[in-house]
Structure 1
Amino acid sequence: MAEEVVDSPSGWVADHIKQYVDSNGEQGHDWQGVPTLLLTVVGRKSGVRRRTALIYGRDGDDYTLVASKGGAPKNPLWYDNLVANPDVELQVKDEVFEATARTANPEEKKRLWPSLAKIWPDYDNYQTKTDRDIPVVILTRK
């Protein structure tokens, strides 16, 4: 995956990504006391590689994400993109690697949610704000 990457259009997220990339993960991995990774997905309509910074958890060797979008009524675009194309790229600290993404099934979500909400307690608040069942994503290194 060598072609150009478009970073999040959100100013503070773009700044976070730049810091993460420029420091090779030394700065930006820890954000407000929580671990973050960089997720690069392929746009389902545009085919453009898009990158964002997200809070993550771990489940064994896998990485886990919450597609919360702050409790908005619709899923974040990055989630819709990885559902359409589950081949993604991650940067965790200084390590960049390919992974396969999938949505946790209901049993997996029930097991994973508490550990993710412990990392970022607002996830519980986000779920109460929306009628949408907020997805949990499992990322497995290729």
Structure 2
Amino acid sequence: MIIRESIYAALWALAAGSAPFASANRRLRHWADVAPSEQPALFMSEKGGTAVTKALGAPIAWTLYADFYVYVHSSDPYLAPAMLLNPLLDALEAALASSPATGIQNLGLPSMVQHAYIAGKIETDEGVLCDQALAIVPVEILCV
């Protein structure tokens, strides 16, 4: 059995500590509602889970899903917002990196989490036509 809140809280703690975000919250806000002074910003959205049972009577193996939303603002006409966004994405990736010793990222919860990782396409709007850039980073958490 897993304890979802413990898992999502551990995931959040890793991500929120990955870079010097001006604001960070597990409650998602639309980028239009985040003032430039509150950016760079990080938000997390829980996206549900998938249950798999390998055999009758076997425990459920869960895969949980979350998205991280990263917002940056640049009012400098010579600084593309993507130039601020890319280092934040690198920091988030580094925070979620697998342990070199084990090859896994268990969020410090080895009894519940087998591996947590960035999975799939990172959606970005690099802010070419405006001062705002954002990225949506999908994460999967394989639970034991």
TM-score, normalisation: structure 2: 0.37
More helix by share: 1
Mark the structure with the bigger radius of gyration: 2
TM-score in terms of structure 1 length? 0.37
